[in-house]
Structure 1
Amino acid sequence: MPSLSPITPNDFQGSDVERINLAVQAAAGTGRRVVIPRHNHAADGERDIWLLDAAILLQSDTTLELDSCHIKLSDRCRDNFIRSANCGMGITDIKPMRGIHIYGVGDVLLEGADHPRATGDSGKTIGERTFGTDAGVEGESQKGDWRNIGILMAFVEDFSIRNLKMVDPHCWGISLERCAHGLLRDIEFASGQVRRVDGVEQTILNQDGIDLRLGCHDIIIENITGYSGDDLVALTAIPGTRGTAGDPGSTMVSATMDRSEGLDEIRNVIIRDIRGYCKGGHHIVRLLNTPGVRLHDILIDGLMDTSPEGFHCKAALKIGDSHYGGGVAPLGSTYR
């Protein structure tokens, strides 16, 4: 049988992100993939860039092909590049999703805004330690949160993200919460914790590459390259007290409270062929769990520090820390 024809946002009207999301909705349940091409046939003229004012929201059983395209956050955007549609602002009951696949063909670039409205995680105040044009703006949150993450998915099984480059995300590049049975492969990062905005050097904190958060398991991470402002690859099982999903006061959209009975442990993760460095001077690979949640059965196969001459990360691999959550995880909760 011939393959089904793809759906492209060029078939729809509206802003760039409205057209992309209409294409995703049209493809849902049909078996057809969504293709974002290089050329954007916008109403105001053709261009080679797609500007996002809000996140691309992916449904279950969606394949998103990025075909040699350049996707950039607009200066109006205070949101992710891409998010699983089951989570977001005010969504307190996150329904499980499955079958989300994102892959690039050719050279694919996801780039942060020229003037980010907010950066950093929920522990940072914008305009103080980290940059954001929303600093001091009445009615806008003055803290970073999960909207600053590049690609964010929660409670998704059977997923993949492949073959793309991400430059200057506003916080972590890719963050997965309570996701399982997935693949992250052939991803390059370029962020340095400092960038020029209108000719002035500004600090952008928490620019990790890939983060696996509470409840992630059975995931392969391989062929990750480039440099990041913070940890290039991090597995962080750090439970907290926030029990409500969709809260803008957190860097986790699915809430930080431990679901107990081992549901939020991080396990069965393969990290293979990591070649990069942390330009912000932190770590290349970090494994961190705090009391109450286990982290185990993690295989690291191939880790190369590509730091330029005269530059040193704090560590190529760091396990544990005393400065997060309830302190150092007790003996036996981090193993194999």
Structure 2
Amino acid sequence: MNSNPGSTRSPNDFPGGTQTARIIAALDALKAHGGGTLELAADTISLPNTNTWTITESIVLASNTTLYLNHCRLKLADGVYDTIIRNEGIVIDEANPNGFARELKRDSNIKIIGSGIDSAFIEGPDIQYAAPHPVRGGKPVPWIGDYFGWRTISILFANVHGYEIGGFSMRKTTCWAISQEHGCEDMHIHDIDFLTTVKNGDGIDFRKGCRNGLVERITGACADDVIACTALGGFTDFPKKTVNSNEYYNFPLEVGGRSARIEDDVIENIEIRDIKASSKCHTIICLAGGGPKVRNITATDVEDNMTYAALQVVAVYTGYGTSAASGDISNVHMKNIISNNSPMTLLVNAPLENSSFDAVVQRKAGGKTYQIQPPYDTQMKNVRITDAAH
């Protein structure tokens, strides 16, 4: 494991209190010395000893900190409404604790590393948090999925530079597994196996303001998109009633809201490779709408598995309010995109510029290799699809 320099501490060094309190004490000790590694392995204090660490509030990681999951399970306790891990720079607005952050301070050099996908696990609760609906009231309902905001996300980073996440499996999420936004740069996300079953059960989400990242060796199955590059304008006030249903976006899903300058709301320079995962929606999406842009995205060797059948393996599209304009999605280059179990390998349903898709393969009987949806079929600018085979 390539961890941060400095000392290594364990919650076992702090024998008093709950598992959560001991983890916080270990992190405080590391922060006091400028950083280091928090190792979660066997809990030798609790009786009986256990390799499961159950937390009642989010782990908050400061700069220069490594969280090392050494043959253990990190689990959110039943009935807790919170992220599992987030960075310290997300400064909560105490007057509106489920709303936009009061500030996104910059953090750097954070690592979440596991001993391997078969031995290290990050897991949501067995029993999800439930309470009366924030708008409608009534009987308790599970607070899961995008309607219930950023606290449903398992790992949330905002304005973090130079970080690494990988080497574990994720299970029992309550919305997106990993989300990054607003100033996240120079990330390496790798060797993660997902199994998600809930609404909005994405794997890895890049939101507005993410750039310069590498994603590789991702496996498993997601109830929603496995990897999403999603740049949407978003709402500025909550709750917000949905257009086509009697539901509400009760709290923001992006803790940083919308940037003051639209040029900051860009997702760019993301490399994706060696993805073998299935989805009920898509394996990879590039999605823009309302002004923010997605550009310079590359993907190679992307293949679905047989757990779920996606709508498409790859989709480039727009929607969710104001549609993308010409130039909002550009320089998307993908190669070796394979469908084994999805009815379509590639869908383009947005204006697209200066992009290429090579070796697009459909192996499912009766499936379609690709489609460019009208009216965008006449609006492509320098877009090539080559070696598309069934």
1:93 lines up with 2:93 in the alignment:
no
Q: Deviations over 1:129-150 (max 9, x none)?
A: x961x69xxxxxx951111101
Give the letter for the 1:146 counterpart: W
Give 2:10's match in structure 1, choosing from 8, 11, 30: 8
Compared CA separation, residues 103 and 211, structure 1 to 2 (3 A): same
TM-aligned CA deviation for residue 113 of structure 1? 0.8
The equivalent of 2:203 in structure 1 is 209
TM-aligned CA deviation for residue 30 of structure 1? 3.6
Aligned partners of 1:229, 1:125: CA distance in 2, in Å?
27
1:172 lines up with 2:176 in the alignment:
yes
The equivalent of 1:290 in structure 2 is 289
Aligned partner of residue 80 in structure 1, secondary structure? coil
TM-aligned CA deviation for residue 316 of structure 1? 0.2
Compared CA separation, residues 282 and 232, structure 1 to 2 (3 A): same
Greater Rg over alpha carbons, structure: 2
TM-aligned CA deviation for residue 258 of structure 1? 3.6
TM-aligned CA deviation for residue 68 of structure 1? 0.7
Matches within 5 A, 1:153-232: 153-178=157-182, 179-192=184-197, 204-232=198-226
5+ residue gaps, structure 1, are 136-141, 193-203
Give 1:252's match in structure 2, choosing from 238, 251, 254: 254
Compared CA separation, residues 162 and 181, structure 1 to 2 (3 A): same
Compared CA separation, residues 88 and 31, structure 1 to 2 (3 A): closer
Aligned partners of 1:274, 1:123: CA distance in 2, in Å?
38
Give 2:230's match in structure 1, choosing from 236, 244, 247: 236
Greater Cα shift, 106-115 or 41-50: 41-50
Paired-residue identity, %: 29
Q: Deviations over 1:152-191 (max 9, x none)?
A: 0111001110111001101000000121111100011011
Aligned partners of 1:10, 1:125: CA distance in 2, in Å?
44
Give the letter for the 2:24 counterpart: N
Compared CA separation, residues 143 and 294, structure 1 to 2 (3 A): closer
TM-aligned CA deviation for residue 224 of structure 1? 0.7
The equivalent of 2:318 in structure 1 is 321
**TM-score, normalized by length of structure 1?**
0.83
Aligned length: 303
Higher strand share goes to which structure?
2
Aligned partner of residue 277 in structure 1, secondary structure? strand
Aligned partners of 1:187, 1:125: CA distance in 2, in Å?
38
Aligned partners of 2:250, 2:45: CA distance in 1, in Å?
32
Q: Deviations over 1:224-278 (max 9, x none)?
A: 100011101101111223279xx971111111x2432511100000011111101
Aligned partner of residue 262 in structure 1, secondary structure? helix
The equivalent of 2:309 in structure 1 is 312
Give 1:330's match in structure 2, choosing from 325, 329, 353: 325
Compared CA separation, residues 118 and 61, structure 1 to 2 (3 A): farther
Aligned partner of residue 25 in structure 1, secondary structure? helix
Give the letter for the 1:177 counterpart: E
Aligned partner of residue 23 in structure 1, secondary structure? helix
Greater Cα shift, 86-95 or 207-216: 86-95
Aligned partners of 1:265, 1:127: CA distance in 2, in Å?
40
State whether residues 214 and 266 of structure 1, in contact with CA within 8 Å, keep that contact through their aligned partners in structure 2: yes
Matches within 5 A, 1:132-151: 132=142, 143-151=147-155
Give the letter for the 2:231 counterpart: A
Aligned partners of 2:46, 2:317: CA distance in 1, in Å?
52
The equivalent of 1:198 in structure 2 is none
State whether residues 36 and 64 of structure 2, in contact with CA within 8 Å, keep that contact through their aligned partners in structure 1: no
TM-aligned CA deviation for residue 42 of structure 1? 3.9
TM-aligned CA deviation for residue 313 of structure 1? 0.9
Matches within 5 A, 1:63-142: 63-87=66-90, 89-90=92-93, 91-106=101-116, 107-117=119-129, 132=142
Compared CA separation, residues 232 and 157, structure 1 to 2 (3 A): same
Give the letter for the 1:155 counterpart: N
State whether residues 59 and 100 of structure 1, in contact with CA within 8 Å, keep that contact through their aligned partners in structure 2: yes
1:60 lines up with 2:63 in the alignment:
yes
State whether residues 208 and 232 of structure 1, in contact with CA within 8 Å, keep that contact through their aligned partners in structure 2: yes
TM-aligned CA deviation for residue 11 of structure 1? 1.1
Aligned partners of 1:123, 1:264: CA distance in 2, in Å?
29
Structure with the larger RCO, 1 or 2 (CA within 8 Å, 6+ apart)? 1
Aligned partners of 2:138, 2:161: CA distance in 1, in Å?
37
Q: Deviations over 1:186-221 (max 9, x none)?
A: 0110113xxxxxxxxxxx311100001110000111
TM-aligned CA deviation for residue 114 of structure 1? 1.1
TM-aligned CA deviation for residue 98 of structure 1? 0.8
Greater Cα shift, 268-277 or 14-23: 14-23
State whether residues 35 and 63 of structure 2, in contact with CA within 8 Å, keep that contact through their aligned partners in structure 1: no
TM-aligned CA deviation for residue 76 of structure 1? 3.4
The equivalent of 1:196 in structure 2 is none
Q: Deviations over 1:80-112 (max 9, x none)?
A: 110101215414022111111111124101111
The equivalent of 2:345 in structure 1 is none
Compared CA separation, residues 19 and 238, structure 1 to 2 (3 A): same
